[in-house]
């Protein structure tokens, strides 16, 4: 289970670190399918700040929750808590992402 945790954390940190304004139109889902006019009306700079912050916080807090439940309860409960902690923030991410489209 800890191997999965580190693997997912590495992926999340890599996503936060390597997506930027130059490669977003090739990598970032949704943004890569927009027309040039739609991209002009999208605040990509501030969106990427939010995006990177979200993934870093998601990595930190989900790992913290995993560690707490792992040492307090058991590995099975820690795995469930970790999965829940990775799932719950996504509606927030989707709702807050809407404000970057002008």
The number of domains in the chain is 1
Q: How confident is the model at residue 87 (pLDDT cuts 50, 70, 90)?
A: very high
Q: What does the pLDDT average to over 64-81?
A: 97
Domain that holds residue 7: 2-100
**Residues 28-67: pLDDT tens digits?**
999 999 999 999 999 999 999 999 999 999 999 999 999 9
What's the pTM value of the predicted model, to 2 decimals? Answer: 0.91
| Residue 54 CB neighbour total at 10 angstroms | 19
CA distances from 48 to 16, 44, 64, 75 (A): 9, 6, 24, 34
The token pair at 55 is 């993934």
Nearest to 64 by CA among 41, 88, 81: 81
């Amino acid at each position: 289970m800890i191997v999965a945790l580190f693997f997912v954390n590495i992926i999340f940190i890599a996503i936060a670190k390597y997506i930027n304004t130059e490669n977003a139109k090739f990598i970032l889902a949704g943004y890569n399918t927009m027309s040039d006019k739609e991209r002009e009306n999208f605040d990509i700079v501030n969106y990427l700040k939010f995006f990177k912050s979200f993934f870093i916080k998601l990595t930190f807090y989900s790992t913290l929750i995993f560690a707490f439940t792992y040492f307090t309860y058991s590995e099975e409960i820690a795995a469930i808590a970790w999965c829940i902690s990775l799932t719950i923030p996504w509606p927030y991410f989707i709702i807050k992402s809407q404000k970057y489209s002008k």
